[in-house]
Amino acid sequence: MPLDTPPGYYSFNEDSVCAFLDSLPDIRTRLGGKPADWRVVEVGDGNLNLVFLIDGPEGSVCLKQALPYVRAAGESWPLPLDRAFFEQAYYRAVASSVEGLTPRFYHYEPALYAIVMEKLSPHIILRRGLIEGRRYPKVAADVGDYAARAIFATSDLGATIEEKAEWSSVFARNTSLLRITAEVVFTDPLGNSPRNRWTSPALDDLAREFRADSALKTTVADWGWRFLTEGQALIHGDLHTGSVMVTETDTRVMDPEFAILGPIGFDVGAFLANLVMNFFAQPGHATAADDRREQADWVLDQVPVFWNAFATRFRSLWETKARGDAYPPAMFGAGDAAALDAARTKFLDRVFADAVAYAGVKTIRRILGFAHNADFETIADPAKRAPLETKSIRLARQFLLEPASFRTAEDIVAAARAV
């Protein structure tokens, strides 16, 4: 390792990963046979980590290991290994609340910053499926349900002060990834970061216009403050369509290494934003056989499906499982039922408003910032890509500067169609 790593750490290759898994009796049993019988393939797709898929005669596992640098950027951008610790800590924190909606967790090896978990098959990444024109009837409702369950259980509605304090204390230390989010999502895209890129020259004028928009910049900064300060629940922190694996009948949320105590709307807005961006990108993936209009409509219709699933589950958990110190049941009696119901509605309206704003921030960063997403990036022709990105980022600006226009998920659908 050219970079400083803790004693005992080494990065796996196909051979050493088998030797390691052979040392874990439960995993050896799960795979069956001997290491020589195991097939190993490394599939980490160039972001932050090594990802091995291991198949044995009787079963399979996935091993994810943190590297001491940002894989997408190379060794010139070092990154602490401890993100693997936070990823497994998140899985453990939410496991009992979201059973069946994450990969099963098998083992964490602290010294190697390696997580052994269920190999999902034949799942593919949701973003890829949507780009390929596939539909997943359950996914929007499943992710909404997932977000509601994970968030409620770790909020001051579903957890006690003492339980939440434990997570606060642990996840406060996930500063490396928090800094990445703060910089690449909030600070850089409208600042003058050398890491920024965009479809050039087509969007040069738009980039200049956005970076000169002082009202937009201070609004993004307002939301940056809220992102850094509103520890409403243990959030996933990166809940986009690339963090979800799917089949037509199964949905799993993964890659929670950005987990922090943060605003609920940040997770909700991430998924919203990525559905909307995929909607705008669809014409860029049209073929002679499929103009993608129906696919685009279907994707956009998932916005209210997702939000309604989230809101319905969240409200139902609040009504039946409140055991935290916010809105404490001890404070209310039968005579307060109507007011409490109204307070819940207002609460969810605030989450929705937050989500719309964070969706705006996250869209801007995918078009003008460092990390773009495949929905647009896989449209090879810039002349096709640029106008679709332009539509998407114009709506994002509306999300941030015209919040009163977005009271319901249907408002988002209507506005996206109207762009």
| Residues contributing to the site for a copy of itself (CB under 8 A) | 155-156, 161-162, 164-165, 168-170, 172-173, 175, 178-179, 182-183, 186-187, 190-193, 212, 214-215, 217-218, 220-222, 224-225, 228-232, 261, 325-328, 330-333, 335-336, 338-340, 342-343, 346-347
Smaller CB distance to a copy of itself: residue 342 or 419?
A: 342
Give CA angle at 107 (105, 109), nearest 5°. Answer: 140
Q: Inter-axis angle of helices 382-401 and 264-281, to 10 degrees? A: 150
> Using CA atoms, how far apart are residues 366 and 268, in angstroms rounded to an integer?
17
Q: Which long-range contacts (CB under 8 A, 24 or more apart) does 90-93 make?
A: 90/171, 90/234, 90/236, 90/256, 90/257, 90/259, 91/115, 91/117, 91/256, 93/154, 93/167, 93/234
The 10 Å Cβ neighbour count of residue 56 is 21
Q: What is the DSSP letter of 245?
A: E
103: tokens are 């990969």
> Using CA atoms, how far apart are residues 297 and 413, in angstroms rounded to an integer?
9
Burial environment of residue 404 by CB neighbours within 10 A (0 to 12, 13 to 18, 19 or more)? exposed
The sign of the CA dihedral 184, 242, 412, 407 is negative
Smaller CB distance to a copy of itself: residue 95 or 215?
A: 215
6: tokens are 């803790």
Cβ at position 265, least distance to a copy of itself in Å: 12
- To which H or E segment does residue 78 belong? strand 74-78
Cβ at position 306, least distance to a copy of itself in Å: 23
Cβ at position 27, least distance to a copy of itself in Å: 32
Smaller CB distance to a copy of itself: residue 192 or 249?
A: 192
Spell out the residues 6+ positions from residue 410 whose beta carbon is closer than 8 angstroms to its own.
304
Cβ at position 222, least distance to a copy of itself in Å: 7
Cβ at position 153, least distance to a copy of itself in Å: 15
Smaller CB distance to a copy of itself: residue 9 or 332?
A: 332
> Using CA atoms, how far apart are residues 211 and 22, in angstroms rounded to an integer?
54
> Using CA atoms, how far apart are residues 379 and 369, in angstroms rounded to an integer?
18
Smaller CB distance to a copy of itself: residue 60 or 187?
A: 187
Cβ at position 178, least distance to a copy of itself in Å: 6
Smaller CB distance to a copy of itself: residue 105 or 332?
A: 332
Smaller CB distance to a copy of itself: residue 111 or 212?
A: 212
Cβ at position 404, least distance to a copy of itself in Å: 16
Smaller CB distance to a copy of itself: residue 221 or 286?
A: 221
Smaller CB distance to a copy of itself: residue 172 or 419?
A: 172
Cβ at position 227, least distance to a copy of itself in Å: 9
CA atoms within 13 A on the CB side of 243: 21
Smaller CB distance to a copy of itself: residue 156 or 255?
A: 156
The 10 Å Cβ neighbour count of residue 161 is 11
Cβ at position 374, least distance to a copy of itself in Å: 27
Cβ at position 254, least distance to a copy of itself in Å: 25
Q: Do 309 and 144 touch, CB atoms closer than 8 A? A: yes
Task: State which amino acid sits at residue 172.
Answer: A
